[in-house]
Amino acid sequence: MKNNIKDIISGYLDFQDFRFKENEDRFKQLINEGQHPKALFIGCSDSRVVPEMITDSEPGELFIVRNVGNFVAPFKPDEDFHATASAIEYAVGVLNVTDIIICGHSHCGAIEALYTNLEFDTDIIHTMKWLELGKTAKEYAMDCMPNSPKDELLRFTEKASVAFQLKNILTYPIVEKRVKEKKLFLHGWYYDIRSGKISYYDNKDNSFKPLGD
């Protein structure tokens, strides 16, 4: 468990001495041949959710974007700064990934914040704006489960948000085009931190089912 910056630096030194040397040939190959990931993984910045760990992926196999709440802002045709949008366009338009995974998770702080009466705070102004991307999922959850216990409501909202982010990503012209051409496939996942299990979103019946079934 790394508790401070000294522990993190110590971890880096261990990486240099052991893990890097074990994978040195792989890193050289990635430099010489470039990266060719097949999937874009959009996950949450939550420190408990590590895409490479839960998918057992090696360097070069996943193109990863992590942000608060694993949200996807709808396409906006302007020239402002859009980090997640840029990563989506790069993954699809330049790297030619064949799959996009949007992975939500249990006990998500961003989703819980939607149910907290946050007062406007200039210190987290961008975070408060970003959380608006989860409001549709919250409203849907409250309509579907008006009298449910809070924990059940939060778990439902976390899953609903994944479905709504899938809708948002289809507003990107390059994504919509590749999906229609059947060159790109979208996946909605939900990772349960407590059990380590992942379920996938089935849009045919609007439900989540165990991944791998």
9-26 residue pLDDT tens: 999 999 999 989 989 999
Tell whether 47 and 20 lie within a shared domain.
no
DSSP β-bridge partners for residue 198: 191
pLDDT band (50, 70, 90) for residue 2: confident
Domain that holds residue 136: 35-210
| CATH number for the domain that contains residue 77 | 3.40.1050.10
User: How confident is the model over 22-33, as pLDDT tens digits?
Assistant: 899 999 999 999
Summarised one tens digit per residue, pLDDT across range 148-198 is 999 999 999 999 999 999 999 999 999 999 999 999 999 999 999 999 999
Task: Give residue 194's pLDDT.
Answer: 97
Do residues 4 and 28 both lie within one domain? yes
How far is the first Cα of the chain from the last one, in angstroms, to the nearest whole number?
A: 34
Mark whether 23 and 57 lie in a shared domain.
no
> Could you tell me how many helices (H) and strands (E) the chain has, helices first?
10, 6
My answer on whether 30 and 120 are in the same domain is no
Would you state the pLDDT for residue 3? 82
Instruction: Report the distance separating Cα 105 and Cα 92, nearest Å.
Output: 24
% of the chain beyond a pLDDT of 90: 90
Tell me the pTM: 0.94
Query: What percentage of the chain reaches a pLDDT higher than 70?
Result: 100
Task: For tokens 């200039």, name the residue.
Answer: 122
Q: What angle do CA 29, 99, 102 make, to 5 degrees?
A: 110
Write down the mean pLDDT value for the chain: 95
| pLDDT of 118 higher than 90 | no
Within this chain, do residues 22 and 48 fall inside the same structural domain, yes or no? no
